[in-house]
A = this chain, B = another copy of it.
Amino acid sequence: MKDQSASGLGSFLPMLEWAHQYNRDTLVSDLVAAVIVTIMLIPQSLAYASLAGLPPEVGLYASIAPLLLYTVLGTSRVLAVGPVAVVSLMTATAIAEHAVIGSAHYAAVAITLAFLSGAMLLLMGVLRLGFLASFLSHPVISGFITASALLIAAGQLKVILGVKVEGHNFFELVAGLVNQLAYVHAVTAALGLSMVAFLFWARRWLKPLLLFWGLPTRLADALAKAGPVAGIAMTALLTWHFEWHLAGVKIVGTVPAGLPPLSWPQWDMALWKDLAVPALLISVVGFVESVSVGQTLAAKRRQRIEPDKELVALGASNVGAAFTGGFPVTGGFARSVVNFDAGAQTPAAGAFTAVGILLAALLLTPALYFVPQATLSATIVVAVLSLVDLRILRSTWDYSRADFSAVVVTLLVTLAAGVEAGLVAGVALSLLLYLFKTSRPHIAEVGLVPSTEHFRNVLRHKVKVSERLASLRVDESLYFANARVLEDRVNALVADRPQLAHLVLLCSAINDIDASALESLEAINQRLADASVCLHMSEVKGPVMDRLQGTDFLNHLNGQVYLTHFQAVSELAPDMLK
C-alpha cells in the first residue's frame, strides 16, 4: 500500500521523492512559474508586512528562507509559503499588546512569535498532533476568515482614504471611518480608490482584453498576473512625477537593500508565556489554511500531502523566518494557485521564487520608494474581500442551526473582540454544540414492519408492537454525556408499561460504549430486574462486543444478546409475528 520512495530517508526528507526524477522539462516549467510568482509576490509581501505593522522589507525577508525550507521539507509540490493576510493580522494583534509599531522591539517580538509558532508546529509534527487542527470546524474557519477579512479591509480603508482612525474593533473602526469622511485626503483617496477599481477590473477583464488584442494565451496569462504590479508601478510613477508625496500622499519611502539579516528570537520566558496562546492560534490557523490549499491542489494531480510532515515543514519555515528577520508565515492560497496554474512541477519552483525575491531585496528596493501606501492597501483590500463569504450564513442556516450559530458567534466575536477571542469562542462553542448534540441522542422505539424482518420507528410507520416487549434503537454511541438519557428513557418506558416483560436494545448504530455507559447499562439492567423486566441486546457490533466480553456485564445481564433484532423478537414475542 505504501509508496516505495516514501520509505527510508525519503520519509524524513520529502524532497528526495521528487529530486531524483528532476529533468530539463521540469526545470523549465518550474522556472516559468517562479518568475510569475515572484512578480506577484513582491507587492504582496510588502503589503502583508505593513498589515502586520512591520517595515516593508520584512515582507521580502519572510518570503525567502521559509520558501527554501519548505522546498526541502514540504510534501505539497506547489504550495508557496510566505506572509498571508489573516496570519499577518493575527501577528499584528498579538504584538500590539507588547510593543509600539515601528519600534525595534516590535520587530523583535514578531521574530519571537515566528519562532514560537514554528517550534509549536515542529512539536505538533513530531508528536503527530496534526489532528488537533480538525477542531477548527468549517463554520468556525469560515466565520473567522470572513471576519478577519472585514477587519483587515476596514483597517486598510483608512490608509486608502488617508484619514486617521483609532478603533479597537470592527464596529469602532467603521464608526471612525464614517466620522472622518469629511477629512479624507483627496489625492490619496483618488489614488487608492482608483487602484481598487483597477485591481477589480484587471482580475476580471485584463486577460480577455489582452487576448482580444491578439496576444498568445500563455503570454496574456502571465501579463494578466503582472497587472497589479503594473498598477503599482503606475501609481508610483505618477506620485514621483507630480510630487504627490510632498502634498501629503504617504509613500513606502526608503527600503533598505540587502540580504535578509541574521536574527534571534528573544529568550524571555515572560514574553514567551504571553505569546504562547497567540502563537498556538497562529500555528493552527496557518496550518489549517496551508493544508487545505495543499490538499486541494494535490488532489488535482492525484498527488497527496501528509499533514504531519506539513507540520514539520511549516514549523521549519517559521523558525527559518525567525532567524532571517521575518515574521509568521504559512502556505498562501493566492500564490499557491498562481504557482499551480503557472505550471510549477516540483517544490524547486519555490526555491527559484525565493531566489527571485532575494534579487528583489538586493536590487529592487530603490524602485519601491515612491509606491504610495494607499496603493499597497488597495491590493490588500482587493485580496481579502475575496475571502469574505457571507453565503455560509445562508447555507448553514438551511443545513443545521448548530453550524449556523458557530459561524455567527465566531464572526461577531471576531469583529467585536478580535481574532483571538473570536477563534477561541468559535472552537469552544462548536465543541459544546457537538457534545450537546451527542448528549441528546435519537432514541426510537421501533416495531416490526408487517411481513418483513425490518424494524422501523413506531411514531413514523405502521408497525407491529407488543405490550410485553419494547424495542429501543439508539442512534448514537453511548458515552458519559448521553448514558443518563438512555436511563431516563428506559425508566419512563418501564413506569408507563405495567405489562412490560422484555426490553430489547437494538445496537446497530452504537459504535462505542464507554465505562460510564456500561455503568448505566448495569444500572438499567439492575432496575429492570427489580421491576421484573428482562434486558436484551441485539445487533451489537464486533468491537463493542469484544469489549463487553471482557466485563461482568454480560454475566449480570438478565436477558440475552441476539445476533439480529428479528431473532430477538421471534423468540421473545412470537405474538408479534402473527
Contact = CB atoms under 8 A, between A and B. Distances in A.
Interface of A: 1-3, 131, 133-140, 295-296, 298-300, 302-304, 307, 395-396, 398-400, 402-403, 430-431, 434-442, 475-477, 479-485, 487-488, 491-492, 494-496, 508-509, 511-512, 514-516, 518-520, 523, 526-527, 530-531, 541, 543, 547, 550-551
Given A131-B436, A299-B491, 6 more contacts: A134-B439, A295-B487, A304-B494, A399-B515, A431-B435, A509-B541
Contacts of A300: 527, 530
A566 to B, nearest CB: 15
A392 to B, nearest CB: 8
20 contacts: A2-B496, A131-B481, A133-B484, A135-B481, A136-B480, A137-B516, A138-B519, A295-B527, A296-B523, A299-B526, A300-B527, A300-B530, A302-B531, A303-B495, A399-B518, A400-B514, A403-B514, A434-B479, A442-B511, A509-B511
A356 B509 CA distance: 52
A480 B135 contact: yes
A480 to B, nearest CB: 3
Instruction: State the number of copies, please.
Output: 2
A131 B484 contact: yes
Nearest to A551: B399
A547 to B, nearest CB: 7
Contacts of A442: 511, 543
A519 to B, nearest CB: 4
Contacts of A437: 512
Q: Specify the main secondary structure of chain A where it touches its partner.
A: helix
Given A1-B496, A137-B514, A442-B543, A527 B296 contact: yes
B304 A403 contact: no
Nearest to A533: B302
A230 to B, nearest CB: 33
A303 B530 CA distance: 11
Nearest to A487: B295
Contacts of A139: 480, 515-516
A466 B98 CA distance: 60
A512 B482 CA distance: 15
A530 B480 contact: no
Contacts of A295: 487, 491, 523, 527
A142 to B, nearest CB: 9
A304 B515 contact: no
Contacts of A431: 431, 435
A482 B512 CA distance: 15
A471 to B, nearest CB: 16
Given A299-B530, A491-B295, A547 B400 contact: yes
B402 A550 contact: no
B299 A531 contact: yes
Contacts of A435: 135, 431, 434
8 A-B pairs with least C-beta separation: A137-B480, A299-B527, A138-B516, A403-B515, A137-B516, A304-B491, A138-B519, A304-B495
A239 B515 CA distance: 49
